[in-house]
Chain A
Amino acid sequence: MTTEAAEHTVPVHDNVEQDSAIPIITFENVSRIYPGEFVALSDINLTINEGEFVTIVGMSGAGKSTLLRMIYADDMPTTGRVFFYERPIDAIKRRLLPFYRRNIGTVFQDFKLLPNRTVFENVAYALEVQGAPNAEIEEEVPQILEIVGLENKMEFFPAQLSGGEQQRVSLARALIHRPRVIVADEPTGNLDPVSTWEIMQLLLRINEYGTTVVLATHNDAIVDRIKKRVVVMDRGVIVRDIAQGTYSL
């Protein structure tokens, strides 16, 4: 750790470079206590601005996934609040949560692809469930598959693809409904270094187009290389928040 990094500790509300920044995700005194008094998150304060690329790092069990789950409303804080722009997520009616989730694209370590559907169908699925017309699906799915470089493998099944390719399908699916935020929870956890770097470059490119990216990882090599903001977590608390991060566990 550098001395510069040590200065950027919690609270992290005002660590932004530009004053024109618009907060898109805000954690306000968030704690998550699991049954049995297990504290997974403890009084988290974190602001992520529109267009930022934030990497959450920390050892396994640090609370990264718990934090990310709250962004896509899969889990709610025990105390404290999470905001999407000015809107508290816990105040969204259950019925409307699915519509909120369309603002967030998610990518996971295990890809979560449907094995009995082709690459095209897997990506189309995200539009199908929203009732998009077939014409729109036919048009947009190939476009997004071209962005992730899989335009030639649209009729392949997941089992016929490498891990890196599968993760690109998953990324394409996350992007198809043009989310504001991409949440990626250890997306490269199962990938070799080359594929890892391909995925990272894709995420960086998506971020350049204006999508906010929140990435959780315990791969320090990645963090050092991308030179973006790094939030370090340990046992449920944010221990450092580094604007142009390099990082070692």
Chain B
Amino acid sequence: MNRITTRFIKLGRTLREGFRNFHRDGWLSFATVSVMTLSLYIIAMTFLLVTAGGALLKNIQDNVSISAYFYPSVAESRILDIKKELEDIVEIKSVVYISREDALKEFKESTSDPLILSALDEFEKEGDNPLLASLVIKATAPEHYEDIAKLLSLPKYADDISEVNFSKNQGVIGQLSHIINVTRTLGMTLGAIFIAIAVLVVYNTVRITMFARRQEFEIMRLVGASNLYVRLPSLYEGFFYGVAAAFMTLILLALTTYFLAPIAEGVAFGNISLFTLFVHYLGHIAVTIFFIGTLLGMISSAIAIRRYLKA
């Protein structure tokens, strides 16, 4: 008899056996899958929250800048020279020059208050412009803003720069980074705890089904079933727990992110929706969850098998 064929026949038979175990003890399986689902859900949710937080942080960081306002008397050529100087600094990502005219135009577009607009018209009629020219500087990393601010207040710029305006987002960034770190730590810790619980539960479930099937195991041994044949069904059983839990987790994630999305958006996430993120990372999340879930199930079963089946 062909060895490969034999192997496939056995694989099929043990798979069927494993599936039978899985669906025979309905409540036991349900409880096991629930605990596994919970742990996978926590892990995936942590990932989504941390990713969303990271995206939000980047979004805010991209909008952080320092503005240096120049006295009206400073010539445009002098401002452009300073711009060049600043651009040569490694920590500075970009410098944008906004002339007084640009500033005025921008300001007029951004305001709709008729009082302010009429006041501006008044100024313009006299050929005057109340706004200052500025350089908008973005750093390569948020921690550089402090140094850039110091640089701009050096005496050599004292005659040119009237005011350095630090964006207020700095504080938000610090807070957000902190929240992200806490979420990550909390999520990972909770995830690890629940994984440990899941391992214990799967281990016990497989042990219980193995106890229920002890007569079969004894007979298997007596009629010379190979060790693998005796063990595979329980291993598959663990595998099925993983698959079912992964599947449940995905459904749960889709539901919660979908219904949570509007709330979360309002509170903190701006234009980043958890649901969009979920859909965007669906492939990654699905693969990872199936991998962790089935691995979890099979490892727990393997431990139970090692402890409760003799050769």
Contacts and interface: CB of A to CB of B under 8 A. Distances in A.
B259 to A, nearest CB: 45
A112 B219 CA distance: 7
Contacts of A97: 227, 311
Interface stretch (B4-12, B81-89, B119-127): B4-12
Interface residues of A, number: 26
B115 interface: no
B222 A101 contact: yes
B9 A177 contact: no
Contacts of B227: 94-95, 97-98
Interface string A90-114: 0000110111111000100000101
Nearest to A127: B223
B224 A98 contact: yes
A130 B224 contact: yes
Contacts of A99: 224, 226
Interface in B41-57: none
Contacts of B265: none
Given A97-B311, A101-B223, 12 more contacts: A74-B221, A97-B227, A98-B311, A99-B224, A101-B224, A102-B224, A114-B216, A129-B220, A129-B230, A131-B1, A132-B1, A132-B9
Interface in A110-163: 112, 114, 125-126, 128-134, 136
B97 interface: no
Interface string A76-88: 0000000000000
B108 interface: no
Contacts of B10: 131
Given A131-B6, A132-B1, A106 B222 contact: yes
A128 B7 CA distance: 11
Interface string B204-230: 000000000001101111111111011
A113 to B, nearest CB: 8
B310 to A, nearest CB: 9
17 contacts: A95-B227, A98-B225, A99-B224, A99-B226, A101-B221, A102-B223, A102-B224, A128-B13, A129-B13, A129-B220, A129-B223, A129-B225, A130-B223, A131-B1, A131-B6, A131-B10, A177-B223
Contacts of B225: 98, 129-130
A53 interface: no
B311 A94 contact: yes
A230 B215 CA distance: 31
Contacts of A106: 222
Contact of B219 (A114, A131, A177): A114
A97 B229 CA distance: 13
A173 B223 CA distance: 8
Nearest to B9: A131
Contacts of A131: 1, 6-7, 9-10, 13, 229
Interface string A170-192: 00011001000000000000000
B221 A98 contact: yes
A247 interface: no
Contacts of B1: 131-133, 136
Interface size class of B (residues with CB under 8 A): 20 to 34
Nearest to B6: A131
A72 interface: yes
Q: Which 6 A-B pairs have the closest CB atoms?
A: A129-B225, A131-B6, A102-B224, A126-B223, A101-B224, A131-B10
B69 to A, nearest CB: 81
Contacts of A177: 223-224
Of the candidates B215, B221, B222, the one having the most CB atoms from chain A within 10 angstroms of its own CB is B222
B285 to A, nearest CB: 38
Contacts of B9: 131-134
Contacts of B230: 129
B64 to A, nearest CB: 64
A84 to B, nearest CB: 13
Of the candidates B7, B226, B311, the one having the most CB atoms from chain A within 10 angstroms of its own CB is B226
Given A98-B226, A98-B227, A125 B219 contact: yes
Given A94-B311, A101-B224, A102-B224, A129 B218 contact: no
A97 B224 CA distance: 8
B311 A112 contact: no
A38 B5 CA distance: 47
A74 B224 CA distance: 11
B123 to A, nearest CB: 93
Interface string B259-270: 000000000000
A129 B229 contact: yes
A44 B7 CA distance: 40
Contacts of B7: 131
